[in-house]
Structure 1
Amino acid sequence: MKAFVPLKVSALFIAALAVILLSFNTIQAQTSMLSSGLSFTNPVLVSGTDLQVGAVYRFSNVDLVTDATVRIDSLVNGATLQTLDDNGNGSGYKDAFQPSIKSGNAGMSYAVFTFQFYLTGTNVPTIISTLNATALDVDGSGSLYEFAKIKVGQGGLATYMSTTTSISISQPVPGEFFGIDMMGVDKAGIDTSAYENMFTATNTSISSFSINYGISQTSNGNATRKFSLYMKGFAIPNPATLPLELLSFGAMMKKNNVELNWVTLWEKNLSHFEIEKSLDGKEFKETGIVFGVGNSDFKTNYSYTDIINAETTGIIYYRLKLMDNDGKYGYSDIRVIRIGKQNESLNVSTYPNPVVNDVRITVPANWQGKEVSYQIYNMGGSMVKTVRNSNASQTEIINMNDLSRGFYVVKVQQGSEVAQQKIIKN
């Protein structure tokens, strides 16, 4: 019997060791899954009509304890959704969210998706401790340019390759990052090493976020483009983040000159702002420099006055180039000033009219810098869009891609003063 005792002990030891190793491997696998980001595969339609506005899909187990839903919030300017998550023909990545979208009318046509996170198998909302949403393969073809706008909320950051000229990254409002192709060149496939055509939006403690995916084109079209949103971070070479959070940026006419005002919520390693302007909205040139605080966790106000030639007329476009101390940079959104004779009565000027994509609304000089509300009504008298600006610029840009063709009334109000004008949407 003694001969069998060591055998039994050895068997028990081996069995226990096997269990430990199996458990260790399982934990390793789980840790690997959690560190590799979120996996979006096999969506199931849970409500609405497939591929139509309002449809909601559930992705189970995007990580070990989390499900996600994706809702089609809107399809703008004639865009149509061909496939919610296209993993066909081996292009892209199975774990990424990969919608195929067909372009619509001239201008920007796009789909808006909202993501919500829940505990697995329930409808109990949950939080992702750190969300990395990477837009891959933002490219184009000829006069067609892809874009992605990722909205992760205040405190979010965008990371991109500082030396890229293939895409432009801006932050229209805090926590919202817009990347658009600049070259019109179609890159082969979808590749996580094509750093020049990708950017990552990051934030912490996220329960939901949204993304606009679409195409900007100069004429009506029906090109189908495949997009890829990979929910993980990447080691982007020569990485840059926008060195600040821009709370506001406005432009107004003042004594026949243009006064630019902007406010930062915080700054990190900021060197300076380069003020750039353009007469066509495409080719920008530096017109001035304003140095930043550098590092701050408080609001900072800045201003710059651009002296305008007395004979200058037409439209001037302004933007800020945000430079950090390492030579990396990003851009603000664009602001527009209209130069010319203006009626100082309560008239507002809208252009272009008819409008295809964006309507520009110029307000009287004595309204600039004050709180102004902009409302658009259809011919049935229903308000279809409203914008409020607590520090109005001379010209406000309002996107009308999501409105159908027809006649509208623009109503603009500052205090007790009201002005309105009819416009046509083509």
Structure 2
Amino acid sequence: MKAYPTVINFTHVFRITFRSTTLVLLFIVASLFGYSQELEFKNSTLEPGSPASGNDGAVYRFPSVTKDVDALVTIINRSSSLVKLVAIDLTSSGFDKAWQPQVTYNNGTTPKGKSDWYMEFEVAFVKKGTTVTIPVETVDVTALDLDGNGGSLSEYVTFFNQNSFTLESQTQVTVTSVNEVLSGYAGKIPGKKFSGPTTNYTNIDPTATKVMVTNKYKEVARFRVRAGAVSGGNDKSADRMYSFWFKSFTYNDPVEGSLPVKLSSFNATKKNDAKVSLDWATSQEINASHFVVERSFDGKVYDEAGLVFAIGNSNVSNSYKFTDELRSKDAAVIYYRLKMVDMDGKTEKSVVRIIRNAEQKETGVAKILTYPNPVVSELRVQMPVSWQNNAVNIEVLNSSGQIVKRQMANRAGQTEVVNVNDLGNGIYFVRASNGTESATQRIAKMK
């Protein structure tokens, strides 16, 4: 949102001075007695022995956020080396009691084309003066003023492993399920990505509930949050301030988002008989009705490919399958996603899975497909059908033919992900082999 003069008034609408668009995340921590207590994030210092300020792994201590409790905020990682931390807690504007990191992308200006970036933090509650974590019975984490710049840029936040969330009934926030491998955790961790509109909502207004979302955690000592944005073109507002304030809120017409299901996995695999097999699993279902399998041939417009009924209510793992016939489909690439629907009609969408429909051959050998190209951080390598569910070795070679990265997929899916964020700019070659066949693709790496 736009910048406004600083007015500190704790009973009215807040305004802050900042030269770029501002996103405010308000953190609410409910006490053991059920009422909301405010935590104060002030006077942070870099922990002794920590990496340099702004680097991944840097740890900052906020002393006495409440009685006998400190908070440790750690920079876990970032989507690109272009993402920089300007300040861990901006004090020249905003709210004195809030944690206000300032994050910038590409020196504040996005290039032409689509840009997507974030910085990931971990917030941990610890005993005062120590690193011993203390679980908090209930933590309500509210993102306020989740909007855009009036152009092509919109903000988003991603919270992992929350128990539920709350939105306004007429929200402008889009919810997407994520399921990712996070450093320090075993296996994939589910989460929710909340994307605001490109519309710029003026003022940092706690009554603008259409661009707010509250995530609830129970018995939590630490949690992960990503603060990011996406731009569709050249924007000069990629210098963001995020204000995290531990204080409660009230929605006008709240909608509880315990959500139909917690999706633990979702996979799509092309079969040799012109069929796509989709399988997914849930770890929890609450008042769930059904799943709609949605399909797209351009990645933009989706139609319904089928419907699968849910178990309904469950706290154990449940597995589902759906087969899509492709004999009449001539699209080279097909996109799939799940729409999860509960008994009250609330919906949530999964991540998108991509299937290559046409089997490409190059001099009699199956060809791999790599994208995006150029690539910044995560390269996706699509495998031939005959290679899937078999061991595949993937290597990245520099222009001199030296192997700079190697990974093995013991049971390759149709798409394998290779993290190339640590590679320098330049031309590389991706070589994949199943032991009897090999294929190579040329890629360009950029920061």
Which TM-score bucket, shorter chain as reference? 0.7 to 0.9
Q: 2:125 aligns with which of 106, 112, 117?
A: 117
Q: Does the CA contact (< 8 Å) of 2:83 and 2:117 recur in 1?
A: yes
Bigger shift: residues 302-311 or 209-218: 302-311
Partners of 1:230 and 1:416 in 2: how far apart? 57
Query: Percent identity over the alignment?
Result: 34
Q: Does the CA contact (< 8 Å) of 2:164 and 2:256 recur in 1?
A: no
Q: 1:80 aligns with which of 59, 84, 87?
A: 84
Q: Does the CA contact (< 8 Å) of 1:348 and 1:361 recur in 2?
A: yes
Task: Evaluate the alpha carbon distance shift between residue 242 and residue 412 of structure 1 in structure 2; reply closer, same or farther with a 3 A threshold.
Answer: farther
Q: Does the CA contact (< 8 Å) of 2:121 and 2:226 recur in 1?
A: yes
Task: Evaluate the alpha carbon distance shift between residue 138 and residue 279 of structure 1 in structure 2; reply closer, same or farther with a 3 A threshold.
Answer: farther
Q: CA deviation at 1:357?
A: 5.7
Q: CA deviation at 1:216?
A: 1.2
Secondary structure of the equivalent of 1:366?
helix
Bigger shift: residues 237-246 or 170-179: 170-179
Secondary structure of the equivalent of 2:257?
strand
Task: Evaluate the alpha carbon distance shift between residue 213 and residue 205 of structure 1 in structure 2; reply closer, same or farther with a 3 A threshold.
Answer: same
Letter in 2 for 1:238: V
Q: CA deviation at 1:70?
A: 1.2
Q: Does the CA contact (< 8 Å) of 2:190 and 2:263 recur in 1?
A: no
Q: Taking CA–CA contacts closer than 8 Å with sequence separation of 6 or more, which of the two structures ends up with the larger relative contact order?
A: 2
1:169 aligned partner: 176
Q: CA deviation at 1:268?
A: 0.8
Q: 1:208 aligns with which of 218, 222, 231?
A: 222
Bigger shift: residues 225-234 or 56-65: 225-234
Task: Evaluate the alpha carbon distance shift between residue 416 and residue 40 of structure 1 in structure 2; reply closer, same or farther with a 3 A threshold.
Answer: farther
TM-score normalised per structure 1? 0.79
Task: Evaluate the alpha carbon distance shift between residue 375 and residue 191 of structure 1 in structure 2; reply closer, same or farther with a 3 A threshold.
Answer: farther
TM-score normalised per structure 2? 0.75
Q: CA deviation at 1:265?
A: 1.4
Partners of 2:244 and 2:397 in 1: how far apart? 36
Bigger shift: residues 279-288 or 405-414: 405-414
1:56 aligned partner: 59
Letter in 2 for 1:36: Q
2:243 aligned partner: 228
Letter in 2 for 1:72: I
Larger radius of gyration: 1
2:339 aligned partner: 321
Q: Does the CA contact (< 8 Å) of 1:265 and 1:299 recur in 2?
A: yes
| Structure number having the greater helix percentage | 1
Q: Does the CA contact (< 8 Å) of 2:375 and 2:445 recur in 1?
A: yes
Secondary structure of the equivalent of 2:200?
coil
1:190 correspondence with 2:204: yes
Q: CA deviation at 1:48?
A: 4.1
Q: 2:277 aligns with which of 229, 238, 259?
A: 259
Task: Evaluate the alpha carbon distance shift between residue 48 and residue 393 of structure 1 in structure 2; reply closer, same or farther with a 3 A threshold.
Answer: closer
Q: 1:383 aligns with which of 405, 416, 426?
A: 405
Q: CA deviation at 1:32?
A: 8.8
Letter in 1 for 2:202: A
Structure 2 stretches lacking a partner, 5+ long: 1-30, 181-188
Letter in 1 for 2:199: V
Q: CA deviation at 1:332?
A: 0.8
Q: 1:100 aligns with which of 99, 102, 111?
A: 102
Task: Evaluate the alpha carbon distance shift between residue 296 and residue 217 of structure 1 in structure 2; reply closer, same or farther with a 3 A threshold.
Answer: same
Letter in 2 for 1:229: F
Letter in 1 for 2:176: I
Partners of 1:330 and 1:63 in 2: how far apart? 36
1:270 aligned partner: 288
After superposition, residues 237-386 of structure 1 pair within 5 angstroms as 237-254=254-271, 255-310=273-328, 312-343=330-361, 345=365, 347-356=367-376, 358-369=378-389, 381-383=403-405
Secondary structure of the equivalent of 1:175?
strand
Task: Evaluate the alpha carbon distance shift between residue 247 and residue 400 of structure 1 in structure 2; reply closer, same or farther with a 3 A threshold.
Answer: same
What is the number of equivalent residue pairs in this alignment?
390
Q: CA deviation at 1:81?
A: 2.1
